[in-house]
Amino acid sequence: MKTINTDVLVIGSGAGGIATALKAALDGHSVLVIDKDRHLGGTSAISGGWAWVPGNKQGVQQGDTREEIETYIKALAGDTYDAAAVAGFLDTVPEAMQFFEDDAEIEFSYPEKAPDYQMDVPGAKVSGRAVTVPATDGRILGHNRLRVQPYLMSYTVFGYMPEIGPDIATFLKANQNLKAFRYAARKLSKTWIETILHKRAYTRTNGNALMTRLITAADAAGIRMWTSTRADELIRDASGVVTGARISGEHAGVVHARYGVVIAAGGFSGDTELRKKHFPHDPHGTNHTTPTIGHHGDSVALAEPFGGHIDARPHQPASWGPVTVFRGLRGQKRWFPHLRAFGLPGLIAVDRDGVRFANESLSYHDYGVEMIKNDEGREGTFGWIIADQKAMRRYGIGYAKPWPFPQTYFLRSGFLHKARTVAELAAKIGVPGGRLQATLDEFNAGAARGEDPKFGRGSNWFHHFKGDMEHKPNPNLETLDKGPFYAVKIEMGDLGTYAGLAVNDRSEVLDADDRPVPGLYAVGTAAVSVFGGGYPGYGANIGPAMVFGYRTGRDIAAIAAERETGASTCGAQSTLA
């Protein structure tokens, strides 16, 4: 069997894994990254690509303070607030961001407005905490151009993935004015031509742009990145230190990692048995679907033989997101995560009783919390997005595109339901017609005035950011009163788990007695979330993944030296608190 030697083995090639690898490599260490998927980038590559990194240079310039940041995170975490972990995260943000920008040459955009998800909570800010990566030319990847995980196709506009911000806002106007139509037509034409000629379009946006930049930097740093390669089991030496792994697939063999192994292989939302244990709404393993990539519990399975275990303290075990499940043209299962759509004017969501149960302009995570709460004790967690002809023609409903795109496919796929009247639609989707009509009447009375007395939709900056900023008098509200009427079913999904492997203040995996497993680390959604179950803003998974990944890559050699000498040589440089 082939033997592979390296200083650091990283299992998983998402943002956390590549961040770890980059820092270790640029500090002069040899690094091997493996991924069981045939593509690099994992769920990070199909994400929005934002990173919530409060304390970055923009926030500092705008006067954001450590006290305000901690106040905000603490309010969202509640009783599961981990002061030491939060302190480590915030301590590391400035140097991590400087490293990514200056040493790894990752270009970040600092948007004028990227509101925190709960703007009514003390300490929330309109900007200065979330960053993103601008659209990037995929040709910088060179020989890796086709190796990055493709977009979730149901989330694209016929192959093109609009950037969150002005780009997607312009696409929403493509059926309303000629300038926007021409803009969208140019983007789509370029995408189609390049795809035909070169197998994939050059322009990369959102999470694909982020991973394009990170993987380009990793390649330039000489990091080996092997795909279609699975870590079957970890190995350790006679003293109990994890020293590598047995791997299979395209690069089968035994890896010896001098400084240790970093698990960055995602969470467990794709594993039925772990969901049954940790997701209260899914006790039978049939009430949840995930669009994530590779989150099959591998991280837990690899760590369990050493006492590694899931830290279930976060009050929400995952970052929730309502999802529509449907069938593609060839009958394949498809997913559409509703991360923005139903905060738009003229769209509401109701439960099986035809009643609104939450503010549709909440974040996808917070709306998911309300979905779970509303359906507690009932069979299944689901609801319906409802729209009238005005909203459908102007915005569509997520994957179901607006006029002038034909609705035939969306109807045949089962994604979209349509009826001439409210009563007919209610009968089609199985909700009480009288209640649905009463819900619309109540909503319409307030929406006509630009108000939502029941839930306060459209009352803060984050709500408006999810809506149509040009719509008056309220960017989030419009009556639903013009037939035909439409419905899309939403079920419970996630963007990654918040419960994860228990780790200490150095990202070392803890055993059953909460002692560190020497040589074994976990970052990203493989590890427990620093936010205690709250979702603070854009990039609440990617921000900590990159920051803690950077920190682990920075300290792993020093921690190994500490083990060898038996002396505490890492000092403050290697601790989170």
Q: β-pairing, 51-52 with 130-131?
A: antiparallel
How far is it, in rounded angstroms, from Cα 317 to Cα 310? Answer: 10
* Dihedral sign (CA 347, 349, 350, 355): negative
CB atoms closer than 10 angstroms to residue 79: 8
Q: How far apart are CA 343 and CA 387, in angstroms?
A: 12
Q: Quick count: other Cβ atoms within 10 Å of Cβ 338?
A: 24
Single-letter code of the amino acid located at 499: A
Q: Residue 208: pLDDT above 60?
A: yes
Of 255, 294, 219, the residue nearest 10 (C-alpha): 255
Which of 101, 132, 126 minimizes the C-alpha distance to 114? Answer: 126
Sign of CA dihedral 119, 124, 128, 129: negative
Which of 133-147, 149-163, 451-465, 519-533 comes out lowest in average pLDDT?
Answer: 149-163
Short-list 222, 227, 263, CA closest to 245: 263
Tell me what pLDDT residue 569 has. Answer: 40
Q: Is 148 helix (H, G, I), strand (E, B) or coil?
A: strand
Could you give the CA distance from residue 524 to residue 266 in angstroms, rounded to a whole number? 7
State whether residue 121 is helix, strand or coil.
coil
pLDDT of residue 573: 39
Q: Over range 570-575, report the average pLDDT.
A: 38
Q: What is the predicted pLDDT for the residue at 165?
A: 77
At residue 263, does pLDDT exceed 60? yes
The rounded distance, in Å, linking the Cα atoms of 572 and 254 is: 34
Predicted model pTM: 0.94
Mean of per-residue pLDDT scores for the chain: 94
Q: Return d(Cα 571, Cα 568) in angstroms, integer.
A: 6
Q: How far apart are CA 325 and CA 409, in angstroms?
A: 15
Q: In terms of Cα–Cα distance, which of 371, 395, 366 is closest to 475?
A: 395
Q: What are phi and psi of 399, to 5 degrees?
A: -65, -30
Tens of pLDDT, residue by residue over 472-510, are 999 999 999 999 999 999 999 999 999 999 999 999 999
pLDDT digits (tens, 9 = 90+) for 316-367: 999 999 999 998 777 788 899 998 778 899 999 999 999 999 999 999 999 9
Write out pLDDT tens, residues 132-179. 999 999 999 999 999 999 998 888 888 999 887 788 888 878 888 889
Q: How many residues can be counted in the chain?
A: 577
DSSP 8-state assignment for residue 157? B
Q: What is the largest CA-CA distance in the chain?
A: 76
Each residue's pLDDT tens digit, 541-564:
999 999 999 999 999 999 999 998
Can you name the residues that pair with 247 across neighbouring β-strands? 231, 253
Segment 360-402, tens digit of pLDDT? 999 999 999 999 999 999 999 999 999 999 999 999 999 998 9
Closest residue by Cα to residue 150 from 195, 190, 189: 195
What pLDDT, on a 0 to 100 scale, did the predictor assign at position 173?
Answer: 82
| Residue 567 predicted with pLDDT over 70 | no
SS in 3 state form for 350-413?
Answer: ECCCCCCCCCCCCCHHHHHHHHHHHCCCCCCCEEEEEECHHHHHHCCECCECCCCCCCHHHHHC
**pLDDT value at residue 534:** 96
Residue 9 forms beta bridges with which residues? 32, 261
Pairing relationship of beta strands 417-419 and 485-497 according to DSSP bridges: antiparallel
DSSP state of 529: P
Q: What is the pLDDT of residue 153?
A: 85
Do the beta carbons of residue 144 and residue 219 sit within 8 Å?
yes
Average pLDDT over residues 407-416: 91
Provide the pLDDT for residue 317: 98
pLDDT at residue 572 tops 50: no
Residue 463 identity (one-letter amino acid): H
Tell me the Ramachandran region of residue 377: left when phi exceeds 0, alpha when psi lies from -120 to 50, beta otherwise. Answer: left
Q: What pLDDT score does 332 carry?
A: 82
Report the C-alpha dihedral over residues 460, 372, 337, 287, rounded to 10 degrees. 180
DSSP characters for 67-79? HHHHHHHHHHHGG
SS3 state at 139: helix
